[in-house]
A and B are shown apart, each in its own frame.
Chain A
Amino acid sequence: MATMIQAIRMALHVGESRLGVTDIFGEDVGAPLGGVFTGTQGLETTWNTPLDERGIVGTAIGLALAGRKPVAEIQFCDYAFNTIDLLKVAGNTYWSTGGDWNVPLVMMTPVGAGIRGSIYHSHSFDAQATRIPGWKIVMPSTPLDAYGLLLSAIQDPNPVMFLMPKALLRVKSKPGEDIPGAPDDDKRLAQMIDAPLGDRSAWKPEWPALEEMYIPIGKAKVAREGTGVTVLTYGRNVPMALAAAEELVAEGVDTEVVDLRSLHPYDWEAITASVRKTNRVLCVNEDTEITNFGEHLIRRISEELFYELHAPPKLLAGAHIPGIGLADNLEMASVPQMSTIKSAIAELAQHEP
């Protein structure tokens, strides 16, 4: 049972050893730290950059143009905002040159709340990211999805943003969702691939014989089947929605949870099928609620599936406030929690047309 951060590390290992990844870089990504969340420990092609996010994104673009296969990390998405014009360039280069140059790069960045990260380690990036055409945007909610989506991102000929839900990075995979080729025993896996504390200059990981497993970008997953209410969500809110759905069984509510996994392109077919089945839809994410990606989904659902709906579609998102405060009460009041998701589902289920 791997954690999501171990799954990411193993995907990067497969990337650099078999899929042509040449450069895995960012702040503290290389030795000795191997990433502030340990995502890049023990890898061969890592290197540390100056603390300069614009340089990181610019370098990733240049490496991609030069035919290398870069995976760049912005340490927290909170620090990616000064790179937005470069992210736009990565996204528009293929289009603006009429197909002359494509930019195959992967940008990974931890997003979201849940670790009491205060104002600048709690930002979401999905609303910003989906405002930048030309990028594919993915966000896993399980270690296996993280592994399969990252391998697909590495193989993609376009810029792909890999949003890492930081609150889930240390959550272990569920039974039956093991990384193919990794040992089932999590202690054994940790001994093999986690760097020791203290001096690690002589340490080398012992990589398991990993198998490649690709999750197609653009394909959602029905994380829980149900017939009463559809929850469209991704990342950190997926396990919360699943827990809420289980609690609601006692109240007679049968919830379907759709884990979008890809925000662009998103799986309209899966969304349509679920909404046609349940006729009630709740979008959940942590980004601030005004000009939110869930609003786009609700707009399209309202336009194209209006007569399928038995209740007004609902968005549960982060409060439209300038930041997420540090104190428990502040963070929890700022973004959806299991309890607020549960209430929102129950309310939708009870709505009488």
Chain B
Amino acid sequence: MLRSRLLEERLITMYKQGDGYFWIGGPGEEAFNVPLGLLADKGTGVDHDFLHLHYRSSGTLLALGADPVDSLRQMKNVASDPYSRGRNFAGHYSARKWNVVPVTSPIEIQYSIAIGTARAQRAGTGAKGISIVQGGDAGTAEGDFATSLVWSSRKGAELPLLLIVTNNRYGISTPYAGQHGYDQISERGKAFGMPTAVVDGNDVEASWAALTKALHYVRTEKKPYLLEAMVSRLRGHSSASGANLAKEEVDCLERFQKTLEDRKILTRSAMDQLRDEVTTELAEASKRIRGEAPPTPESIHDYVFADKNYVGGEV
């Protein structure tokens, strides 16, 4: 959680220092997203979980084992960025080795795509994994969310799909009540006959428990489950709104650190020391990657097709 938070803070600093063009990320969602990464069955193919995440999922990626320096590379858009080779914004992850399906900027389309991986894992296929899809509350206004509810809950054709909505109560600048007439997004799952739950996503233990329960249901029943996590948005929507600290929001990391201190699991000084170490490590890494090569102009033509690069229509 700490590493994820410090990574996001470093990415914001990089953006503000001119080492990137845009920042978007998930500070405030660590208490939910880190447990998700730890509880997912990571691997390749249908016997492991497919993760259809969005651009606030750095906590999940780090929990899966991603190197935070790779996120800095994507921010700096250097050729060594393993997620997009300098092509995409920060937080737009892709990791085939862990079934992390590419994160896209159009919100909610992952809910339509997740149907496909879940279909490949449905009951009777023998596949051991499930599909997990995650997006924000505002994105559920898109038709793709309804698509995932309809397709995953058809009787006799149910899909092993965990639908997660991280609700930070904003769609860019529009408050929750400005676009939803219902109190909780999870209410919508009830019409489709699927179990639903709302969890305090700022509480790491509650999140762990809610995820464990939901994952167990989807794995054993091979049916959909809708889990809504109430989370904070600590740095606004993106760099477009300044990425400044939203002091009125609950900070899940501070809350967790207090718990650890109260229960005498870690001392404040040990946690501060860890914070200093990781901060220094990331600051040094961000300086180091300034020396890494940008993608070459010619590379725009790379990876258009998986067999041969047909550029101008030639065969």
Task: Name A's B-contacting residues (CB within 8 A).
Answer: 23, 49-50, 52, 54-55, 57-68, 70, 85-86, 89, 93-102, 104, 133-134, 136, 156-158, 216, 218-219, 264-269, 300
User: Interface size (B, Cβ < 8 Å)?
Assistant: 48
Nearest A-chain residue to B307, judged by Cβ: A157
Is residue B66 contacting chain A, with contact meaning CB distance below 8 A?
no
A268 proximity list for chain B (CB < 8 A):
312-315
A134 touches B114 (CB 8 A): no
Q: Which B residues touch A94, using CB under 8 A?
A: 303-306
Is B50 in contact with A54, judged by CB distance below 8 angstroms? no
Interface residues of B (CB under 8 A from A): 45-46, 50, 81-85, 87-88, 92, 94-96, 101-102, 104, 106, 109, 111-121, 131, 143-144, 147, 150-151, 154, 302-307, 310, 312-315
Contacts A100-B96, A101-B96; is A62 near B303 (CB within 8 Å)? no
Interchain CA distance A294-B102 in the complex, whole Å: 34
Shortest Cβ distance from residue B262 to the other chain A in the assembled complex, whole angstroms = 43
Question: Is A269 a contact partner of B315 (Cβ separation < 8 A)?
Answer: yes
Known: A58-B109, A96-B102, A158-B306. A265 touches B314 (CB 8 A): yes
Q: How far is the CB of A134 from chain B (nearest CB, A)?
A: 6
Chain B nearest CB, measured from A84 CB (Å): 11
Are A52 and B150 within 8 A (Cβ)?
yes
Contact B84 A97 (CB under 8 A): yes
Closest CB in chain B relative to A86 CB, distance in Å: 6
Residues of A within 8 A of B81 (CB): 98
Which single residue of chain A is at the shortest CB-CB distance from B82? A98
- B78 to chain A minimum Cβ distance, whole angstroms, is 12
Q: Across the two chains, which residue of chain B brings its CB closest to A99?
A: B303
Are A85 and B109 in contact (CB-based, < 8 A)? yes
Residues A58 and B112 in contact, CB atoms below 8 Å apart: yes
Interface centre among A50, A85, A100 (most CB of B within 10 A): A100
A89 touches B313 (CB 8 A): no
Asked if residues B116 and A65 are in contact (CB atoms below 8 Å), the reply is yes
Contact B121 A264 (CB under 8 A): no
- What chain B residues lie within 8 Å of A300 (beta carbons)? 312-313
Contacts of B150 in A (CB 8 A): 50, 52, 55
Cβ of A66 and Cβ of B50 under 8 Å apart?
A: yes
Q: Output the nearest chain A residue to B102 by Cβ-Cβ distance.
A: A97
Closest 10 A/B residue pairs (Cβ): A62-B116, A58-B112, A98-B85, A66-B120, A265-B310, A218-B315, A102-B306, A97-B94, A157-B306, A63-B116
- The answer to whether B113 and A65 have CB atoms under 8 Å apart is yes
What is the bound-complex CA distance between A100 and B83, given in angstroms?
A: 8
Contact, CB under 8 Å: A98 / B87: yes
Q: B303 to A95, Cβ gap below 8 A? A: yes
- Complex Cα distance, B131 from A264, in Å, reads 33
- Known contacts A52-B147, A264-B313, A265-B314; is A58 also within 8 Å of B96 by CB? no
CA distance A57 to B144 in the complex (A): 11
A101 touching B303 in the complex, CB below 8 Å, given contacts A55-B150, A66-B117, A269-B314: no
B84 near A96: Cβ-Cβ < 8 Å:
yes
Complex-state Cα separation, A279 to B112, whole angstroms: 49
Q: Are B304 and A133 interface neighbours, CB within 8 A? A: yes
CA–CA, A227 to B144, complex, Å? 53
B131 partner residues in chain A, CB cutoff 8 A: 62
Minimal beta-carbon separation of A62 from chain B (angstroms): 2
Measured CB to CB, the nearest residue on chain A to B295 is A98
Q: Could you tell me if A100 and B94 are in contact, using CB atoms closer than 8 angstroms?
A: yes
